[in-house]
Structure 1
Amino acid sequence: MTDLRGARRHLAAVLAPVLALAPAAARADDTQLWATAILQGPIEPGKGVKPMVWIEVQPRLANDVSQLNPMIARTGFGVRIGPDFNALFGYHFQRNAPRGGRVTSEHRMWQQLLLPIYRDPDRLIVTTRLRLEQRTIESAQDLGWRARALVRVQAPLKGEGSAGPLLWSEALVGLNDTDWGQQSGVRQIRAFVGALVPVHPRLNFEGGYMAQIERNRGDHRVNHVANLTLNWRLGD
């Protein structure tokens, strides 16, 4: 417990300059668990450009890991152009059930590019993911546009396909204001530190700590998240 408190104090010190940019207001940190299962990869075997699929389920436990909120299901289709290089589009469903708030259903269309920045499978892999989302809430009128940019660094310790540290950071940017609450600007930053561990030649486990910084007009918060992912890869 002492080590955990020390780690959180250290994280707070690192994030202090970022948080200082937000307006001073009520701060309500939360402890959460995000569990993700992904099935993704080319439908056909072989090299070159291949059709691919993405299927994802992600339950999140919020309010000190006591309440399911939200529940997410995401599907996508596209093409795999090469290692760490693909283009996808798809549909996202999300059920939001905030404590003390109104239950809503969110529907999104999304488009995504995964691009390699640096690739040495034996030592270091750096990629970026660019995603554009069109968000709607049932019973609301406005369409919310949001852009997301993620940079991911993976360092296998014993050559290609081995376990090693994993770092990534993502910025979520609202492109317009909506009647259901989306605000324009950089409204969320996520920073993850953990490890990638192969469980099977096609199955990887990713686990670690993520700081989710949420910034809204008049308030901000930092959620402390245990982020766990199982990723099953199809094809080569």
Structure 2
Amino acid sequence: MIGRARLLLAALCLAVSGGRAAAETVQDGQLWINTTLFGSVGDLAFFAEVQPRFGNGISQLDQLILRPAIGWKVNERLTLYQGYAYIENRDGTGPVRFEDRSFQEINWKIGEISGVKVSSRTRFEQRWQSAGRDVGFRLRENLRFTKPLTQEKDSVSAVGWVEAFVALNDTDWGTRAGFDRVRTFVGLEVPIGGESTVEIGYMNQTARASPGGTEVDHILSLNLSVRN
């Protein structure tokens, strides 16, 4: 009887410790570098983006994203895009996973509130991964706030934004419907000539991980935006 009680107690301790491990928060320091070319010809707009992301303490290439899109400028404040993204996921835990992604995007310059420029980017994604056969649908909403630090024309600006990701369905390659991740950024936007800018700052990414855990990434983010 005592032996059975000890076995039961050991099993309960193992279950509790396993549950804690599954639900623990995993943290990482990362470096994301993004270069994007923006352009337009009349009402036709386009962009092309290259983004390598380094993780595991900035020791390895975790992900590479190539993302072009073409769009239509409805007016000076609203632009609609159709785009495609090619992604390589290299987290070091297995073979490279490839993703093809179609997306539709709405860029909206909402306006200015007390000197702060507010804009929105809404993106609807259709995702195919090499690890499965299902199509994953995801909705992303980004709200961006920019405020010049001086009255000069080419002033450095303070920037902050937040982006929420919601998965709309389950897939056989691991996505679960509901909250997917949220990203927040604070930093500076520096003009480098014409309308081109460099943006540098800190990004926090909090993502849902399987099974039941949370991933928190602390990211140094460098963004070069070249505009013609």
Band the TM-score falls in, shorter-chain normalisation? 0.7 to 0.9
Contact 2:207 2:216 in 1 (8 A): yes
Letter in 2 for 1:212: Q
CA RMSD of aligned residues (A): 1.8
Letter in 1 for 2:102: M
* Alpha-carbon distance in structure 1 between the residues aligned to 2:161 and 2:41: 27
Name the residue aligned to 1:232: 226
Asked if the contact 2:63/2:88 (under 8 Å) is kept, the reply is: yes
- Using the alignment, how far apart are the partners of 1:79 and 1:162 within structure 2? 29
Aligned to 1:96: 89
Q: CA deviation at 1:139?
A: 5.0
- From 127, 132, 143, the counterpart of 2:124: 132
What is the match of residue 154 of structure 1? 146
Contact 2:89 2:96 (8 Å CA) reproduced: yes
* Uncovered stretches (5+) of structure 2, i.e. residues with no partner: 1-20
In the TM superposition, residue 41 of structure 1 has moved relative to its aligned partner by: 2.7
CA deviation after TM superposition for structure 1 residue 156, in Å: 1.1
Q: Distance in 2 between matches of 1:232 and 1:80?
A: 18
Q: Deviations over 1:161-195 (max 9, x none)?
A: 42110000000100000000111111100000001
Matches within 5 A, 1:41-56: 41-44=39-42, 50-56=43-49
Distance 1:38 1:131, change over 3 A: same
C-alpha spacing 1:24/1:138, structure 2 compared with 1 (3 Å): closer
Kindly provide the CA deviation profile for residues 65-104 of structure 1, in whole angstroms up to 9, marking residues without a partner as x: 0111100000000112344421101110000111222211
In 1, distance between residues paired with 2:136 and 2:173?
A: 9
1:15 is matched with which residue? Answer: none
Tell me, yes or no, if structure 1 residue 27 matches structure 2 residue 25: yes
Query: Aligned partners of 1:162, 1:82: CA distance in 2, in Å?
Result: 26
CA distance in 2, matches of 1:232, 1:144: 31
2:200 is aligned with 1:207: yes
Number of the residue aligned with 1:37: 35
Residue 24 of structure 1: CA displacement? 7.8
State the shift of 1:202 in Å.
Answer: 2.6
Structure 1 residues not aligned, in runs of 5+: 1-22, 45-49
Q: Which has the larger radius of gyration?
A: 2
SS in 2 for 1:29: strand
Letter of the 1:219 partner, please give it: G
2:158 is aligned with what amino acid? Answer: P
Distance in 2 between residues matched to 1:162 and 1:83, nearest whole Å: 22
Counterpart amino acid of residue 117 in structure 1: I
CA distance in 2, matches of 1:43, 1:57: 22
> Aligned-pair distance for 1:124?
2.0
In the TM superposition, 1:171-210 aligns within 5 A as 171-210=164-203
Which residue is 1:109 aligned to?
102
Say whether the 8 Å CA contact 1:212–1:224 is kept in structure 2: yes
Preserved contact between residue 94 and residue 105 of structure 1 (Cα < 8 Å): yes
Structure 1 pair 95–191 and aligned structure 2 pair: CA distance change class (3 A): same
The letter of the residue matching 2:133 is Q
Q: Tell me if structure 2 keeps the 8 A contact 1:168–1:191.
A: yes
Equivalent pair of 2:131/2:173 in contact (CA under 8 Å): no
- Displacement of 1:233 in angstroms is 1.2
Task: Count residues in correspondence.
Answer: 206
Greater mean alpha carbon deviation, residues 135-144 or residues 167-176: 135-144
